Structures are given as structure tokens and as C-alpha cells.
Amino acid sequence: MTQPSQEIIRGARAAMSRLADRNTPFIFNEWYVAAFSDEVGRSLLKRTLLGKRLVLFRTGEGKPVAMDDRCVHRSYPLSAGQLDGDTVVCGYHGLRYDQNGDCIEAPAVAKCPKNIGVRTYPLAERGPVLWIWMGDPALADESAIAALPWMQDSAWAGAKGYYDLKSSYVYLHENLLDTSHLSYMHANTIGSPDYVKAPTTSEIGEGRFALVRTVSPTKLPPVWAKPTGLEGVPTASRIVRNEFLSPALYEVTTRLYDSALPEGDRPEFLIKVAHMASPATHNSTHYFIYLGRDFAQDDAAATQFMATNFFKAFDEDVAGLSLLEEVIAEQGDELYEISIASDALGVAMRRYLKGRADQEASAQASAAPAPAATAGRAPVVMMQQS
Ligand code: FES
Ligand SMILES: [Fe+2]
């Protein structure tokens, strides 16, 4: 029995210390998906994002609003109160907040105290998803939201799904970049035995990590073959581009065709999947998925078949990552992981996440005011009694 030597374990731990993991602070200066657009309506939606409790709703005019889900009075969750017109009324003592988060009424007193309220967050709606910025408001730039035009294009048919993933978003991103797992974790769904050995090329840029895998010739599993009509074709090509676009977003593009037919004279089929990872806590993630195709757009049976079968594969990832999280949590300080050459992209991506988190932490530390020499008294907001 060959176990790693202490030297190998020490080396593995030293390498791990430079990578993001479940303990790495969240990256706040980033757009994340807060919800699918149709989840947010005229009722209060409670959601934890980046470790913070939020409440989301729409005004009567349809404008989405996100605010802290904690009443400034005695911390009652606002999501347990009422949406009244465009205001939120706390369910404990009735403080009322407008859509800007300002407290505009305190029923127990004649005059509502000025300058108290809850933080609201910039939101941007893009097709089926609602993005949120929870970082420095001065840095919120909507043009930084990755354009996924296919998600809003009528020439594409789509299906969506959501998982309450019991795992850190870091491991989800790594899972998505390391597609060698398709031949094993997805052996009976989207994978095929030849996938793991198929040639790949990697692209590493600032915050962009992509893997292109060419599986050709191959025989496609039914989930790919049936809707494209490539069933039983031994010369199919499956070209897959897996791309990390941001800490919140990952896109997979798969091109399928019969390589026996001449280029330019053969039908080609594109399938895209947006994997949107929004950390809830350090070991749980809101995992939003949007699946699109550029063919058979009006074929409801194809939509149903693909949604059912692709989500079977995503179920496998979610179950697998939850298992992984359990083991990692149990290991505590004993944990070590040994990376192999095929992990290069995942390792680079995790280094990038850690770099972003460290950068934010040090910027915050240098912006924080120096501690006072003597402790001051905390200001008290008094509510005037009528
Ligand atoms: S806790 Fe919200 S009004 Fe008192
Ligand atoms: Fe997977």
C-alpha cells in the first residue's frame, strides 16, 4: 500500500494554501444571479447571498428591489413582514421601508426617526435572470455583466432549472472546468467512455479560463443524439468549449455534427448551458442553470426530452459535490488534495478566485478607519413618543 509521503502531503497543503476553497472570503465586487426573473414578483422572496440575508420583490411598476432582510429596529426579518404597495412593513412593530430602503413610518411614534433604513442593492434584469451587485456600490457597472445573447434570442429554445447545492461554489466551478469527470460521474447520462481521453486545448487569460475538447469520431449518448438525429452515427463530432466567465458564471457550448459529411454541407447543432453560481454560504450555493439550443426550437418533445435528461446529469453533479463537501468538512485540518496535470485549469481558476478575494480583503483593510485610541459611545437613535 503506497500512501503519500509526509513530504508529498506537505507539498500538497502548501499548494492548496494558494487556492480558493470553502473557507475563502466571498468576492463581493462581482455581479451574481440573485434569482430567475420570474421568481421575483409581488411577494417577499427571502434569499441568502454571499452570507447575507436579503429580501426581494417587485414594485407595482415591475421594478425589482433587493434589500437587507433585517429590520434595523430589533432585527426581525423583513421577509416575514408584508409587502404593502411598494413598501415593506416589518412584521414585528410595523416599521415601514420604501423601495430605497428608507424607513418612512414607525407606527409607535408620531415622527419616524430620520436617516434610518436598510441597504438596497443594484439589480439588473437580463432575459430570464436577475443580477445583483453586493459589493462597493461605486463600482457597480452593468456593462460588466456577461452578455449571453442566446438566452434572450427567439432563435434559441430554452429550459431552466435551479439547485440548492450543498457545496461551496468553488468546487462547482472546478467541477465545470474539469470535464474529465464526464466519463465517470456521467457515464450513464451525458458522458461517453472516450470523452476522458479526447484531446483538449486550454486557454488561460485574466479571469478567463476555457477548455476545448474535441471528441471525434464518436457515438453520441442518446441525450445528444436523439434531439439532433445523430443516433447510431459512428462518425459524430462533439466539440465542447467550457468557459469560466466570472466567479458567478460559466458557459458550456457544444457543437455537434456528423464528421462524415462535408463541412459547409452538413447540419450542425449548437447546445449552450449557462451555469450560474451564486454563493449562499461558504458551503451552499444557489445553482441556476439555463439550457439552450439553436435547433428544433418549436419541438416541445425535444425540449422536454433534453430538459429531463440534461437535468439528470446535473443531478449527478449536485449529488457528487454534496458528497465531496461532506468529506471535506469531516477532514478539517487533516485535508490534503493532490492535483494532477489535468487540473491545471482548475488550479489556475482557484488561484484567481483566491487572488480576487485577498485583493478585496486588503482593500477593505486599508480603507477601514484606524481604531480610536479610546472607545467612543455608540450613537443612540431615539424614537420620539407621541
Ligand atoms: S423589529 Fe421591525 S419594527 Fe421592530
Ligand atoms: Fe458534471
Same domain, 206 and 351: yes
**Among all chains, which residue has been given the C-alpha cell 430602503?**
101
Which of 257, 279, 258 has its CA nearest to residue 25?
Answer: 279
Q: Kindly state whether residue 211 falls inside one of the protein's structural domains.
A: yes
- How far is 282 from 284, CA to CA, in rounded Å? 6
Q: Kindly state whether residue 13 falls inside one of the protein's structural domains.
A: no
Same domain, 120 and 163: no
Domain of 156, CATH number, reads 3.90.380.10
Same domain, 218 and 354: yes
Using 50, 70 and 90 to split pLDDT, how confident is the model at 382? very low
**Most ligand 1 atoms within 8 A of CB, residue of 70, 82, 90 to mutate:** 90
Residue 318 to residues 241, 286, 309, 321, Cα–Cα distance (Å): 21, 11, 15, 5
Which whole number is the average pLDDT over 335-345? 93
Asked if 130 and 230 count as a contact pair (C-beta separation under 8 A), the reply is: no
Same domain, 96 and 173: no
Q: Kindly state whether residue 231 falls inside one of the protein's structural domains.
A: yes
- How far is 238 from 252, CA to CA, in rounded Å? 12
Asked if 200 and 211 count as a contact pair (C-beta separation under 8 A), the reply is: yes
Q: Kindly state whether residue 136 falls inside one of the protein's structural domains.
A: no
The answer to which of 132-136, 197-201, 223-227, 378-382 has the lowest mean pLDDT is 378-382
Total number of domains constituting the chain:
2
Whole domain around residue 110: which residue ranges? 40-124
Same domain, 155 and 303: yes
Indicate if the pLDDT at residue 78 is higher than 70. yes
Distance 189 CA to ligand 2 centre (A): 10
Same domain, 93 and 167: no
pLDDT in tens, 167-188: 999 999 999 998 899 999 999 9
Distance 69 CA to ligand 1 centre (A): 12
pLDDT in tens, 104-129: 999 999 999 999 999 999 999 999 99
Q: Kindly state whether residue 310 falls inside one of the protein's structural domains.
A: yes
How high does pLDDT run on average in the chain? 93
Which amino acid, residue 66? A
Q: Kindly state whether residue 374 falls inside one of the protein's structural domains.
A: no
Q: What percent of the chain has pLDDT over 70?
A: 96
- How far is 179 from 342, CA to CA, in rounded Å? 10
Residue nearest to atom 1 of ligand 1 (CA): 74
Query: Does 383 contact ligand 1 (Cβ within 6 A)?
Result: no
Same domain, 56 and 174: no
Same domain, 55 and 96: yes
